[in-house]
Chain A
Amino acid sequence: MEEGEIFGFIGPNGAGKSTTIRTLLSLIYPTSGNAKIFGKDVTEFGPEIKQNIGYLPSEVFYYDNMRVKDLLKYSASFYKKDCTKRIHELAEILNLDLTKKITDLSLGNKKKVGIVQGLLHEPKLIILDEPTSGLDPLMQQRFFELLEEENKKGATILFSSHILSEVQRLCDRVAIIKEGRLVTVEKISTLKENNYKRFKIEAKDKLAKEYFAIDGINKLEINENTVSFLFKGDVNEVIKRLSTIQVTNLWVDEPDLEEIFIHYYEKEA
């Protein structure tokens, strides 16, 4: 990862995203190898490094009997700067009530506490582990804006997720991991070029296989008069071809992550 970038980190559940992050935060220790942040070993210089890290876990749990305000104050007390102003700014942006008790908060609101808690000390590195679960689309949008703002101010962001669109929306580069191994690191722009669309077509008549002999079609499946395939390339090609048949229904989707992975597997094999 380079300084100042927003780096996506995607992989299916159990691929090792959280494990990597927890190692970086020295919550767990590597059985072999090492990791460095800011050029320093994470195990050896843990506390020093963490002074400049903000972390938002995928599931947020805080001391239930505390008020939001007190929790954030406690959180701020670990850092060597006065964060009161930033806490109030962030709470305002996210529309978070500081006087409530943590127990009384909904999942989304707890998440907001997590966001404020992770950003209040204006960290140089922000680590986000599947941060958007529980946030409504509006808040998600605001949260992304907040991250982009922090990024402009110079913060580096590590964004872990299994939702491709989130990563695409925000990140410059992305690492794809599977079963604990790094499959590839790509620029989002490259990934988009490689972007597959999933087509599903229902036609009036039975369709012949030859009909879909277009370059860039993958995984063609024909079942009576429904057809599905993955397509990479100029979408117009497909549309032109489709215009000659009687279509009763048409779906065009982004393929899910699993399919992208299949793509990367094929590449490796």
Chain B
Amino acid sequence: MNMFLYELRASRKSTIVWTISLVSVLVLFMSLFPSFSKDVDEVNKLLEGFPEPVRKALGLEIGSLGSLLGYYSYSFTYLALAGAIQAMNLGTNILSKEVREKTADFLLTKPVTRTQIVKAKLLAAVTSLLITNLVFLGAAGLTATMVKTEAYDAKVFYMISITLFFIQLIFLAFGLLASVIIPRIKSVLAVSLGTVFAFFLIGMLASTGEDEVKRLFSPFKYFEANYIIEHSTYEISFLIVAISIIVVSVVTTFIIYRKKDIHTV
């Protein structure tokens, strides 16, 4: 418990900053919605000027930007990107910082098992993300009701919003795994930004084609807003893939960290 609270406090500042940033981007996007929906015809005309693959890669679908849900799913791509960076940073940092800041000798000579350490840190990270998501959900719901032009399906709206948390959990797990596999992480940002943007680009490429298999390679494509809007449910197969990735990464992290040698600084 003491480790959990310590870790929570240690990531407090970054959680606050990330939450505020995410909400700001959200508000910025949402505040533009009224003008978009007013001039939806012109926007559509503008979009027709783009080649189809480009539109698909950017997640722009003609006609969808006029509705709140369509517009939100487009904005959400970028919110998810930012959220993924937050989660990956957190995951990569939380174990590796002990070695980088040379505090491993302190923590690991305390009467705790390695498993307890990872568990406490993991829980603290998930809690931080949970806090971010709760604030985000609240802000999203609030801004949506403020800018809506006509009624929208609130359930679907929240279902899309919650995928932020799913995507974050995946990248948190990636971060943890990276931190125990890479021997010495000098810069967390380099690792996390690199990974997140790589997956984001893969996701963009994946959406240009119709190939479902390609989507497997980018967690950003596991929870397609269009599918959720259409069916009011998640794609079960991709949900299973997501859960499997998280479980495998986290379990591997535990196994590796338990046996990891912590060398002198």
- Chain A residues packing against B (C-beta within 8 Å): 18, 22, 25-29, 46-51, 53, 55, 57, 59, 61-64, 74-75, 77-79, 117
Contact = CB atoms under 8 A, between A and B. Distances in A.
18 contacts: A22-B262, A25-B109, A27-B105, A27-B108, A28-B261, A28-B262, A29-B261, A47-B112, A47-B116, A48-B111, A51-B111, A55-B105, A61-B102, A62-B103, A63-B106, A75-B106, A77-B2, A117-B106
Interface string B221-262: 000000000000000000000000000000000000001011
B263 A57 contact: no
A147 B109 CA distance: 20
B261 A74 contact: no
Contact of A61 (B10, B101, B259, B263): B101
Contacts of A28: 261-263
A55 B105 CA distance: 9
Interface string B125-138: 00000000000000
B79 to A, nearest CB: 30
Given A61-B106, A63-B101, A77-B2, 20 more contacts: A27-B109, A27-B262, A28-B263, A29-B259, A46-B113, A47-B111, A47-B112, A47-B113, A50-B110, A50-B111, A50-B112, A53-B109, A59-B102, A61-B102, A61-B265, A62-B103, A62-B106, A78-B111, A78-B112, A117-B106
Contacts of A78: 2, 110-112
B254 to A, nearest CB: 16
Nearest to A25: B109
A64 B100 CA distance: 12
A212 to B, nearest CB: 44
Nearest to A114: B106
A63 B103 contact: yes
Interface of B: 2, 6, 10, 101-106, 108-113, 116, 259, 261-265
Contacts of A79: 111
B109 A55 contact: yes
B20 to A, nearest CB: 20
A68 B216 CA distance: 49
A227 B183 CA distance: 53
Give me the 4 closest cross-chain CB pairs, A-B, nearest first. A61-B102, A77-B2, A50-B111, A28-B261
A165 B110 CA distance: 30
Contacts of A50: 109-112
Contacts of A46: 113
A75 B107 CA distance: 8
Contacts of B112: 47, 50, 78
Contacts of B264: 18, 22
Contacts of B259: 29
Nearest to A50: B111
Given A22-B264, A27-B104, A117-B106, A74 B6 contact: yes
A29 B101 CA distance: 22
B103, B111, B265: residue with the most chain A Cβ atoms closer than 10 Å:
B111
A49 B105 CA distance: 16
Contacts of B6: 74
Contacts of B108: 25-27
Contacts of A51: 111
